[in-house]
Amino acid sequence: MLRGLYTSAAGMISQQRRQEMLTNNLANANTPGFKADQTTLRSFPNMLINEMSNAKKLPGSNPIGSLSTGVYMQEAIPKFLQGDMQETGNRTDIALLQGLVPINDEGQQGMLLYAIQAENGETRYTRNGNFTIDGQGMLVTNDGHYVLGQNGQRIAVGSEDFSVNELGLITTAQGVAGQLNVVFAEDPTNLVKEGSGLFRLEGGQALPTAIGNPNITYQLKQGFIERSNVDLNDTMTDMMTAFRAFEANQKVLQAYDRSLEKAVNEVGRIG
């Protein structure tokens, strides 16, 4: 009976964590470049039950079957699908439209990202092209992270009076200001979310640039942003499913609790 308590409690915890993940997806439905998380539930290792009533038999000689010991949420993996393009008319909005990208040996399609500089000076990556210009005339993200060019340097544009061609070459009234560094992640599952739309490569390595790679095609569109790839209908449906699964486990837990209460207070009572 106690094992049943643990199993139902594990189910409640896993569904609660899944609900939290779905809530975060829903909250970022309008965040440019956001990649929705998806999760997988796995069962704990099963236990093999054997008959122990016959003392003459060796343990394990008469197996009854296996018993699941509960489930847990294994991990949350971003869904790296291209979001829809939305025209904004803002010259600092630059959407990255992914074209031909190689598929790795595991059948996973690679992903293209912008390279930016985080507060600690380390390079991070993002799909959010909702940029702006800081007080020094540098091209930055809305969180103040510097957008990096092909040479790994910050890009000075001065004002919004600049243009970006399809390959990311930035031109101002003074001439060419630089080229946006588009990098290539061969296996996007190795990317780790850090919040604010930022990714880093597991292990801390740098991603290679996609500029000049003959196997990769892409197009940058000025005045556009890539919308979140969160599907509102699917997310709401999944949230309701998670809530009902939580309730079902909760009722099982309450049933075990009532049975324990009766066993303690009524069974074996001396009249």
Range of the domain at 11: 2-79+230-265
Name the band, by pLDDT with cuts 50, 70 and 90, for residue 269.
low
Q: Structurally, how many domains does the chain consist of?
A: 2
Residue 153 reports pLDDT greater than 60: yes
Q: Are residues 155 and 253 in the same domain?
A: no
High-pLDDT (> 90) share of the chain, %: 57
Q: Which helix (H) or strand (E) holds 78?
A: strand 71-78
Q: Are residues 170 and 93 in the same domain?
A: yes
pLDDT at 151: 87
Find out whether 209 and 181 touch, Cβ atoms under 8 Å: yes
Residue 139 reports pLDDT greater than 90: yes
In sequence order, the 6+-apart residues with CB closer than 8 A to the CB of 83 are: 33, 34, 127, 226, 227, 228, 229
User: The sheet that has 175-179: what strands, in order across it?
Assistant: 162-164, 169-172, 175-179
Q: Are residues 129 and 220 in the same domain?
A: yes
pLDDT at 70: 75
Q: Are residues 188 and 200 in the same domain?
A: yes
**Would 271 be classed as within a structural domain?**
no
Q: Are residues 110 and 198 in the same domain?
A: yes
pLDDT at 60: 47
The per-residue pLDDT of the chain, averaged, comes to 87
State how far the Cα of 16 lies from the Cα of 41, in Å rounded to an integer: 12
**Span 83-88, mean pLDDT?**
94
Q: Are residues 183 and 238 in the same domain?
A: no
Q: Are residues 220 and 238 in the same domain?
A: no
Q: Which helix (H) or strand (E) holds 265?
A: helix 232-265
**Would 142 be classed as within a structural domain?**
yes
Q: Are residues 109 and 212 in the same domain?
A: yes
pLDDT at 162: 95
Name the band, by pLDDT with cuts 50, 70 and 90, for residue 256.
confident
